[in-house]
């Protein structure tokens, strides 16, 4: 393995391991070497776990050699946003408050990935407690975008986006409360899936907002996303929101194409939320591509964005404040300023506003779900444009530009971001597709068809090839 | 900013038991005003039948049966 090059995808590595052409030890070594080489420029990791990684990779080598290969993830490196528990390791949430917080058990998701034979390379940077924004008054610096290190990764799964885009890892776990998987995927040019609420367990992940939090993967390709979802999805009776639903084979129909499917393009949304001309152009081009592939494109209109944003602030903000109120009262200085101020806003929502938001949430969910009666997927802008410069990101308590992705945290529908081309400045654009509840298989199929035809995944950040 | 908003903000901070950095009070007050402006869309009247999302479903509670 040449650590100067991006790691192969999961599917590529898996095939090579199966044929005996690639060793998990070599793969883990390449990931660790690449992580160390790029650390000064990306700050993607909070902690590397080299001894554990090599031990896991050796164990995978032995098992595979003995004919006990567990499946396509066996021996494949991965990373965890540092809000996921790993027994015996700190879970810091990128915060001074949890710097000594050693996990007693694996998160349910960690356990599933380990059971599948994946090899943990390290814990990744996040915005503090998966909220706030890039901050320089924390124990670790914010991550940088591999396409241009002066630019923002998106958040809060910032290290996950950076590490996958830079080819350090083929997969990293993120979490998504208002878009924290999909925004880094969009800004860093990776695939990022927020599954249906309840499909992937949240047990053992530092919570931000009980009813808005989702766990999911960032990968380089849709196929890799499907492979990882096969391991992640499933009922967890110890997660009170976990759904007990059948889990399909996510790769079975991946290559079935989109002919005959109907995709609702939320084109009016572009003007409503001031999506810039390049990002809007990427969506228009994606609509044309889908049509060429045989899908029917229909224009759809979503409920007004202000209603989603009000729900998100009233419910998610209140849930977050409830979790953090004691520390915000007794040691507010332990938080980064941006985290502290944004969390404090949750205190300013009245009980009546919270209940009204819950009522409106149900209405919005029903309205969005009704669109899926006639559409197999919706296509919606995930971000207003390419990643801004890090020093231009809003870090005040109020964001003039609210996340566009929160729509599907309000409703719980699955949504995926797929690379959608490049802006004139070389930074990635993105296409967001949303699907029916628990129909990730169809959503992945549609995303895969777009990805393979558009082929933006073939271009890697220049940084990634320098090593 | 109206006196009402100013007074509401001061009361909300006190009721929540929060302490703000002196140089950040103005920014937080502006954020409070923006938040209340946004939340006003929730004031639209709803019929009684529009119950909250995630209302309790006893069939999902485990350990009591």
pLDDT mean by block of 10 residues, chain A; 467 residues: 90 97 98 97 98 98 98 98 98 98 98 98 98 94 97 97 98 98 98 98 98 98 98 96 96 97 97 97 98 98 97 98 98 98 98 97 97 98 97 93 95 98 97 98 98 97 63
Give yes or no: A156 in active site: yes
How is residue A394 written in tokens? 């809003």
Of B35, B41, B52, the CB nearest to A348: B35
Of B13, B41, B50, the CB nearest to A307: B41
Of these residues, A156, A157, A209, A316, which one is catalytic? A156
Per-residue pLDDT, A2: 83
Euclidean distance between CA atoms A34 and A384, whole angstroms: 31
Task: Map tokens 């001894």 to a residue.
Answer: A51
How is residue A188 written in tokens? 């860093």
Residues of B with CB under 8 A from a CB of A: 9, 12-13, 15-21, 24, 27-28, 30-32, 34-36, 38-39, 41-43, 46, 50-54, 60, 62
The complex scores an ipTM of 0.94
Per-residue pLDDT, B53: 87
Per-residue pLDDT, A4: 85
Which of A306, A326, A344, A409 to mutate to probe the B interface, most B CBs <10 Å?
A: A344
Which of B17, B26, B30, B35 to mutate to probe the A interface, most A CBs <10 Å?
A: B35
> Residue B3: pLDDT band by 50, 70, 90 thresholds?
low
How is residue A13 written in tokens? 């590595």
A294 in reach of chain B (CB within 8 A): no
Give yes or no: A242 in active site: no
> Residue B1: pLDDT band by 50, 70, 90 thresholds?
very low
Q: How far is A65 from chain B (nearest CA, A)?
A: 43
- SS3 readout for B12-63: HHHHHCCCCCHHHHHHHHHHHHHHHHHHHHHHCCCCCCCCCCCCCCHHHCCC
Q: How far is A349 from chain B (nearest CA, A)?
A: 8
Of these residues, A158, A180, A320, A430, which one is catalytic? A180
How is residue A142 written in tokens? 């914010």
Closest among A223, A247, A252 to A236, alpha carbons compared: A247
A340 in reach of chain B (CB within 8 A): no
A325 in reach of chain B (CB within 8 A): yes
């Amino acid at each position: 393995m040449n650590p100067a090059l991006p790691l192969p995808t999961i599917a590529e590595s898996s095939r090579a391991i199966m044929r005996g052409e690639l060793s998990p030890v070599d793969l883990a070594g390449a990931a660790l070497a690449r992580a160390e080489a790029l650390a000064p420029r990306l700050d993607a990791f909070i902690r590397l776990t080299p001894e554990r990684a090599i031990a896991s990779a050796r164990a995978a080598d032995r098992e595979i050699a003995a004919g006990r290969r567990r499946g396509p993830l066996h021996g494949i490196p991965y990373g965890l946003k540092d809000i996921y528990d790993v027994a015996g390791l700190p879970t810091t949430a990128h915060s001074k408050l949890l710097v000594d917080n050693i996990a007693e058990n694996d998160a349910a998701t960690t356990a599933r990935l380990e059971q599948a034979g994946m090899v943990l390379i390290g814990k990744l940077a996040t915005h503090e407690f998966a909220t706030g924004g890039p901050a320089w008054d924390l124990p670790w610096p914010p991550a940088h975008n591999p396409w241009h290190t002066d630019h923002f990764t998106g958040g809060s799964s910032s290290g996950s986006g950076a590490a996958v885009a830079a080819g350090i890892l083929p997969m990293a776990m993120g979490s998504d409360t208002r878009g924290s998987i999909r925004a880094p995927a969009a800004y860093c040019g990776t695939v990022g899936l927020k599954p249906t609420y309840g499909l992937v367990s949240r047990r053992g992940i530092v919570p931000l907002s009980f009813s808005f939090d989702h766990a999911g993967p960032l990968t380089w390709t849709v196929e890799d996303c499907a492979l990882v979802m096969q391991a992640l999805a499933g009922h967890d009776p110890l997660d009170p929101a976990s759904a007990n639903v059948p889990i399909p084979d996510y790769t079975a129909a991946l290559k079935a194409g989109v002919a005959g499917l109907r995709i609702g393009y939320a084109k009016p949304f572009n003007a409503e939320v001031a999506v810039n001309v390049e990002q809007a152009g990427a969506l228009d081009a994606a609509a044309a591509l889908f049509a060429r592939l045989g899908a029917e494109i229909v224009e759809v209109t979503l409920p007004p964005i202000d209603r989603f944003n009000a729900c998100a602030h009233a419910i998610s903000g209140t849930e977050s404040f409830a979790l953090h109120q004691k520390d915000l009262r007794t040691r507010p200085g332990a938080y980064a300023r941006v985290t502290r101020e944004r969390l404090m806003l949750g205190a300013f929502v009245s009980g009546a506003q919270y209940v009204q938001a819950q009522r409106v949430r149900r209405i919005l969910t029903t309205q969005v779900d009704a669109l899926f009666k006639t559409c197999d997927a919706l296509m919606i802008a995930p971000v207003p444009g390419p990643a801004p410069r890090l020093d231009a990101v809003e870090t005040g308590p109020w964001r003039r530009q609210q996340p566009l992705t929160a729509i599907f945290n309000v409703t719980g529908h699955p949504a995926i971001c797929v690379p959608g081309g490049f802006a004139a400045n070389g930074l990635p654009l993105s296409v967001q597709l949303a699907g029916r509840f628990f129909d990730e298989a169809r959503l992945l199929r549609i995303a895969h068809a777009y990805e393979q035809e558009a082929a933006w995944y073939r271009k890697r950040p220049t940084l990634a090839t320098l090593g | 900013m109206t006196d009402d908003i100013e007074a509401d903000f001061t009361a909300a901070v006190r009721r929540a038991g929060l302490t703000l950095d002196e140089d950040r009070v103005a920014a937080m007050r502006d954020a409070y005003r923006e938040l209340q402006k946004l939340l006003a869309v929730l004031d639209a009247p709803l019929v009684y039948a529009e119950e909250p999302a995630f209302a309790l479903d006893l069939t999902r509670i485990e350990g009591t049966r």
